[in-house]
A and B are shown apart, each in its own frame.
Chain A
Amino acid sequence: MAVELQLAGNLSAQTRTIKMGEDRVLSESEILRRVKAGDRKAYQFIVGKYMKKAYFIALSYVHNHQDALDISQESFVRAYRRMKAYDPARPFFPWLYEILKNLSLDHLKHRQTRHEIPLESASALTAAPEDREMKAAVWKAIHSLPPDQKEIVLLRYFQQFSYKEIAELTRKPVGTVMSALFCARAKLKEILAETLGFEAEKDKRKGRHGP
């Protein structure tokens, strides 16, 4: 008898269902225990649940559809192969995220040494022709941030994660996430002063106080 298997997400409030030939509701940790025992059908459910998040996180790092697809799928493959080291009592996504982030960073490192597609191209963004230049400037500014701040900015702005979710993924206290975002914003404001028109304001103020 095929009855629904239901699962509440750790990172999203959304719930999804899948038929698994079970007559009871399984929690995510129970499903992961099955994955650990080699159940690929259970893993299909986990992949379906997290594929979008994984793809978009990779895309925010590598800015290229094909590479993001490749990296996100590879992270699921590696996660599956390393299942033995995984503790099903802990949330799955932060664990996958660690693999995903390392793969993305490795990819960027290789790309840098091969001098391929510059990051500034911002081709992974939706953009009308008139604000393409501005978006490219913002994109470049984000990628000039120190790695820790950049990571948090990508999670906040591109994935719309809450402070608590970011803290869970990056294994940092919420207070650290908050202050990193504060510092990142201050830096972005400074780098983008001209693009955002702050430079003119500053000049005006200076002019006012000047002789």
Chain B
Amino acid sequence: MDHDNLKKLISPYLDGELGEEEAQKLKEHLAGCPECRREMEQMQKLEEVMSMMKLKSPPQEMWDVYWRSVYNRLERGLGWILLSLGAIILLFFGAYKMVEGIIKDTTVPLVLKVGLIVFLAGIVVLLVSIVREQFFLRRKERYKEIEK
């Protein structure tokens, strides 16, 4: 193994990830190579500093209530779905009743009735388009995940 490849072994050596044979080879090389010895010293210094980098531990209570929070989020997800579904049904029913009333009302001018129908048709087209886009995006996302 040449100098450059042996130098690359210093990093896994410090991690304790080298096999005995490779570790032995590296040690032999270090004895006769001042450049690699210097590299080793610098790497050790870096390791010393890096090993001081410790993340703060959160209070124990956080772990005690962790599952509860996850569970609540799961429940809340279902709550949101039901809430949105109910709201949509109510909204559609209300809108239907209102439109029905206006269309059946003989005192309302025809222009207003036509305008209302065109307006509603526009909303339906936009809604369908948004739903289709969302569905398409989600499918694409799923493919992205598989690719990775």
Interface set of A (CB-CB < 8 Å, partner B)? 40, 44, 47-48, 51-52, 55-56, 59-60, 65, 69, 73-74, 76-77, 80-81, 85, 98, 124-126, 131, 134-135, 138-139, 156-158, 162-163, 171, 178-179, 181-182, 185, 188-189, 192, 195-198, 201
Contacts and interface: CB of A to CB of B under 8 A. Distances in A.
Chain B contact surface mostly: helix
Contacts of B66: 47-48, 51, 73
Nearest to A68: B58
Interface string B32-62: 0000001000110110011111111010001
Given A74-B73, A185-B46, A198-B42, A125 B58 contact: no
Given A178-B17, A189-B46, A126 B56 contact: yes
Interface stretch (B7-15, B99-107, B114-122): B7-15
A47 B77 contact: no
B56 A65 contact: yes
Interface residues of B, number: 32
Contacts of B45: 196-198
Contacts of B54: 125-126
Interface of B: 8, 11-12, 15, 17, 38, 42-43, 45-46, 49-56, 58, 62-63, 66-67, 69-71, 73-74, 77, 142, 145, 148
A48 B67 contact: yes
B55 A158 contact: yes
**Which of A60, A73, A158, A192 has the largest count of B CB atoms less than 10 A from its CB?**
A73
**Which of A59, A77, A138, A163 has the largest count of B CB atoms less than 10 A from its CB?**
A77
B53 A157 contact: yes
B62 A178 contact: no
Chain A contact surface mostly: helix
**Which of B42, B142, B145 has the largest count of A CB atoms less than 10 A from its CB?**
B42
Contacts of B53: 125, 135, 138-139, 157-158
B49 A138 contact: yes
B58 A196 contact: no
